[in-house]
Amino acid sequence: MTSGLLLRDLRVEIAAGDRRLMPVDGVSLEIGPHECVALLGESGCGKSLTALALMRLLPDGLAITGGEARLDGTDLFALPERAMQTVRGGRLAMVFQEPMLSLNPVLTVARQIAEALAVHRGMRGGAAKAEIERLLLAVGLPAELAASYPFQLSGGQRQRALIATMLAGEPRFLIADEPTTALDVTVQAQILRLLKQLQAERGMGLLLITHDLDVARDMADRVAIMYAGEVVEWAARDVLYGRPFHPYTQKLFSVLPSTQRRGERLDHIPGSVPPLGTAFSGCRFQERCPQVWARCQQEAPGLYELQAGHRVRCHLAVEDRPGVAQAKPSIVAGATADRAPLLQVRGLALHFPIRRGLFRRSVGAVKAVDGVSLELRAGETLALVGESGCGKSTLARGILRLIEPTAGSVRLGDEEVGRLSGEALRKKRAEMQIVFQDPFASLNPRMRVGEVLEEGLQALRPEVGKAERKERVARLLEQVGLDASAALRYPHAFSGGQRQRIAIARALAVAPKLLICDEPTSALDVSVQAQILNLLKDLQREHGLAYLFISHNLAVVAYLAHRVAVMYRGRIVEEGEAASVMARPLHPYTRLLLASAPGQGLPRDAVFSERFAQVGCPFAPRCGEAKPICAERNPALGEWQDRRVACHLYG
């Protein structure tokens, strides 16, 4: 085949002293001229490096040490650098993950596109100007944005601008490296649609790098699954999603949370992705594989052809495993919730003043949280859903009084948290704790895990003696599934998932009644996410904890929560039983969120706008069903059927 993008046996090496680390070890791929191939894998599996190697843009210190890449017959790795420059952004272009960082901050969008036009198509002046406008329209941006600087654009707009830049050279193939990971779910849906549409219109090949099974399902014709630097399964999309073969692929599917799995324990993959530099003997997945047997340890499996176009790197493809099938996932009894509310939030507002002018007078306020009321019972999980900037994390910090609220009340148990001070407040803090998103920023790198866990006890339960503290720490570690010896080690010795367990143990140390989880799994790989979600469920059942679970991931919410509250621009717009909201969303915004979630086919063309209104309903400009009144009055949260909703359509 001379047409298409072909990669054979790619090896990438890192020179680290006298050791040779191979983050990419023998990867082969092929992408037809009009095809979309997804390269799927968890963090650190080498998928991004594979893409960068194709572009010959590996970071300093990494080098291609083997393999061959052919773009319509041209051997990319043999080209001199000058010739490669005409390929990059010309026949082969690449879109990156971080739209915030991937555009030059001091050049206008037009200039950044013009550069590519000049290099690859020799266009300048008026012709270039016209072409820039055409490209911007093609990616759904108004032409007047050409003169803007990147900082003036939203995340989605930047990603569109970046795509326009990369289309300037009329590429035959486009590599998209996690193009939507940093974006909100509604924007993600739009960008994915755009990519798919451009691919069809221009007859491009598309290599999509992603960690998201659902995104890959919506986009790809064929899928390659990567694990520890190798491709472990390679098949057409329908084959892979219908009959996954490799144990790792099967596991990836079974660990995903969803509405259907409510009440079940999620399946999980034990352990975590092997770190770079692990010396493998035999199969790389053997440590975590449920079907491992002697042969896996002795011999590394080849990439066996199971049937035409379906290749698998597993001994099961050629030999049946001696032994029994695996056990079904166990069912977890649902936790029962009390009737009396534990947490009562009434009209909570957090405003940050905007200061302007000569004397820094306050001329207004950013209403991060603008009158939120909610209730939470012991043993219950309330999910707080919303896109970035909707104020959900600020709300959490306001409830804990890490930020002083501007107005409103927070009652925990039978006490008003806002009125407490000094010793009484400190005592109250033992009842409410928080687990943060970033497992790397949430533990002090200079404290041993034991000291981390003891800190809360020392501050809130000073009467607990030293020996008892040590004992409690050991018990806590055991509760979250870690070895007691972990107490003596420092956080850097642990993986992201393990750190999140430690963070949970830290919060549990003071025996809280309310645990606020601020996106606790969004920084974790799906296999580790399942472990943490299971742990949270177990702890709720054992201790009757109430969770305020903040998330943007609807699948996780659907799996875990009893009730859901949807937030938009500092207000709750819909609240009700999780199952009912997920099945029958009322508010147009909730409907948009649910429709945008990947894995159910790409959405129909939605109204594209990230604007919001200052007067009236803030969602009105994006709403397909807006009525005149929506532009005038912001609807209040009212009862409607089995839930509360803030929309003029109801009531």
Partner 1 sequence: MSLPFQPEILWSDALLFVLLAAVSAFVLHVRRHEHLCVPWLRVAQSRIGMAAAVILAVYAAIGVLDSLHFRPALPAEAGQPLRYGNEVRSVLDVVAEPLRTRVEKTYSEPFALHLYAKENLTLADGRQVRDYPRLKHGGAHLADERERAGDIARRAIVGGLWGAGLAFGLWLLLGLSQVRRGRGVATATARMLHAQEWAAWRTALIALSLLLVLGGVLVQLAGHYHILGTDKVGQDVFYLSLKSIRTGLLIGTLTTLIMLPFALFLGVAAGYYGGRVDDLIQYVYTTLNSIPGVLLIAAAVLVAQVYIETHAELFDTAAARSDLRLVFLCAILGVTSWTGLARLLRGETLKLRELEYIQAARAFGVTHLRILSRHILPNVGHLVLITVVIDFSGLVLAEAVLSYVGVGVDPAMASWGNMINGARLELAREPMVWWQLAAAFLFMFVLVLSANLFADSVREAFDPRAEQR
Partner 2 sequence: MLAYIVRRILYAIPILIGVNLLTFALFFVVNTPDDMARIHLGAKHVTPEAIERWKTEHGYDKPLFFNTAAQGVAKVGDTLFVDKSLKLFAFSFGQADDGRDIAREIGSRMWPSLAIALPTFLVGLLAYIGFALVMVFFRASYLDFAGVVLCVVLMSISGLFYIIGGQFLLGKLWHLVPVSGFEPGWAGLKFLLLPVLVGVVSGLGDSSRFYRTLFLEEIHKDYVRTARAKGLSERVVLFRHVLGNAMIPILTGAVVVIPRLFLGSLIVESFFGIPGLGSYTIDAIQAQDFAIVRAMVFLGSVLYILGLLLTDLSYTVVDPRVRLE
Q: Which is nearer to partner 2, 12 or 223 (CB)?
A: 12
Position 104 contacts partner 2 (CB under 8 A): yes
Position 170 contacts partner 2 (CB under 8 A): no
User: Smallest distance, Å, CB 503 to partner 1?
Assistant: 7
User: Smallest distance, Å, CB 171 to partner 2?
Assistant: 10
- Among partner 1, partner 2, none, the one that 429 touches (CB under a kind-dependent 5 to 8 A) is partner 1
User: Smallest distance, Å, CB 411 to partner 1?
Assistant: 18
CA distance 497 to 440: 10
Position 122 contacts partner 2 (CB under 8 A): no
Q: Which is nearer to partner 2, 96 or 285 (CB)?
A: 96
Q: Which is nearer to partner 2, 177 or 233 (CB)?
A: 177
Among 29, 31, 96, 350, binds partner 2 (CB under 8 A): 96
Helix ranges restricted to H, 181-335: 185-202, 213-219, 237-242, 247-254, 294-298
Position 179 contacts partner 2 (CB under 8 A): no
486-489-490 Cα angle (round to 5): 125
Q: Which is nearer to partner 1, 73 or 275 (CB)?
A: 275
Interaction mask 395-414, partner 2, x per CB under 8 A: --------------------
Interacting stretch for partner 2, rule CB under 8 A, among 103-111, 280-288, 584-592, 626-634? 103-111
Q: Which is nearer to partner 2, 13 or 230 (CB)?
A: 13
Neighbours of 101 (CB within 10 A): 11
**617 with 635: CB under 8 angstroms?**
yes
Q: Which is nearer to partner 2, 114 or 573 (CB)?
A: 114
User: Smallest distance, Å, CB 591 to partner 2?
Assistant: 35
Binding residues for partner 1 (CB under 8 A):
18, 60, 397, 400, 402, 425-426, 429, 432-434, 436-438, 441-447, 452, 455-456, 459-460, 490, 492, 503, 506-507, 510
**Which sign, positive or negative, has the C-alpha torsion 209, 212, 213, 218?**
negative
CA distance 489 to 491: 7
CA distance 609 to 486: 49
Interacting stretch for partner 2, rule CB under 8 A, among 96-104, 241-249, 266-274, 577-585? 96-104
Q: In this structure, what are the phi and psi dihedrals at residue 466, rounded to the nearest 5 degrees? A: -65, -45
Fill in the amino acid letter for 104.
N
CA distance 410 to 431: 13
User: Smallest distance, Å, CB 369 to partner 1?
Assistant: 17
Q: Which residues contact 610 (CB under 8 A, 6 or more apart)?
A: 154, 156, 157, 187, 622
User: Smallest distance, Å, CB 183 to partner 2?
Assistant: 15
CA distance 29 to 22: 18
Q: Which is nearer to partner 2, 87 or 345 (CB)?
A: 87
Position 88 contacts partner 2 (CB under 8 A): yes
Position 106 contacts partner 2 (CB under 8 A): yes
First to last CA, the chain: 63
- Among partner 1, partner 2, none, the one that 358 touches (CB under a kind-dependent 5 to 8 A) is partner 2
Q: Which is nearer to partner 2, 148 or 259 (CB)?
A: 148
CA distance 508 to 545: 10
CA distance 265 to 559: 10
Q: Which residues contact 78 (CB under 8 A, 6 or more apart)?
A: none
CA distance 595 to 601: 9
Position 362 contacts partner 2 (CB under 8 A): no
Q: Which residues contact 451 (CB under 8 A, 6 or more apart)?
A: none
Q: Which is nearer to partner 2, 202 or 295 (CB)?
A: 202
- Among partner 2, partner 1, none, the one that 98 touches (CB under a kind-dependent 5 to 8 A) is partner 2
- Among partner 1, partner 2, none, the one that 18 touches (CB under a kind-dependent 5 to 8 A) is partner 1
Burial bucket for residue 421 (CB in 10 Å: 0-12, 13-18, 19+): exposed
User: Smallest distance, Å, CB 360 to partner 2?
Assistant: 8
- Among partner 2, partner 1, none, the one that 551 touches (CB under a kind-dependent 5 to 8 A) is none
Position 89 contacts partner 2 (CB under 8 A): yes
CA distance 189 to 349: 31
In 3D space, the residue among 617, 594, 622 whose CA is nearest the CA of residue 606 turns out to be: 622
Interface residues with partner 2 (CB under 8 A) are 55, 57, 59-60, 82, 85-90, 93-94, 96, 98, 101-107, 112, 115-116, 119-120, 149, 151, 162, 165-166, 168-169, 356-360
